[in-house]
Structure 1
């Protein structure tokens, strides 16, 4: 299993959490998504590493922006 945490900007409510979770969960191989609304992060658990640009596209589809890794 691979666990990666990404910063996401623009999330402000539970609807944001639901949207981001739905879009990232649709990525093949993703087994779990945990959104930390207060911290502005999304933790993705997957069977194998997921390309950052694939996660970026899913977050963008949900209406938010993947931040740069710190």
Structure 2
């Protein structure tokens, strides 16, 4: 998963066996905690996303968003049970409605502004 960063409060205490409950077999990473945020600055935008719990969720959202022209990276601060922050970088202006549609297409709900 190139261009994907995972972090945040899964509550496993570093003892994860990868069992997120989604039915897939995978682990998850820990790179630190940070709050979800909403901001737009040129070709970088951060979107709050509800319902993401594991690496499979991250991969699904990343795949859908990466299909848009100009997208050069997707970084996810995973917050299972909360609002995850998905930061998108692009060489072209980002259309919020298109990115939110991609999040929905992946099966998740954009958090309200």
Equivalent position SS for 2:63: helix
- Structure number with the higher helix fraction is 1
- 1:10 paired with 2:54, answer no
Instruction: In structure 1, list runs of 5 or more residues that go unmatched.
Output: none
**In the TM superposition, what is the alpha-carbon distance from 1:66 to its structure 2 partner?**
1.0
- 1:34 paired with 2:75, answer yes
**In the TM superposition, what is the alpha-carbon distance from 1:25 to its structure 2 partner?**
0.5
**In the TM superposition, what is the alpha-carbon distance from 1:37 to its structure 2 partner?**
0.6
- Structure number with the higher strand fraction is 1
Equivalent position SS for 2:94: coil
Could you list the per-position Cα deviations for residues 13-66 of structure 1 after superposition, in whole angstroms to 9, with x for gaps in the alignment? Answer: 110000000000111111100011126110000012211110011000100011
Structure with higher RCO (Cα < 8 A, 6+ apart): 1
Which TM-score applies when normalising by structure 2? Answer: 0.57
- Number of paired residues? 69
Question: Over alpha carbons, which structure has the higher Rg?
Answer: 2
Which TM-score applies when normalising by structure 1? Answer: 0.90
Corresponding position of 1:63: 107
Instruction: In structure 2, list runs of 5 or more residues that go unmatched.
Output: 1-41
For residues 65 and 41 of structure 1, the distance between their equivalents in structure 2, rounded to whole angstroms, comes to 12
- Aligned CA RMSD, in angstroms, stands at 1.3
- 1:48 paired with 2:92, answer yes
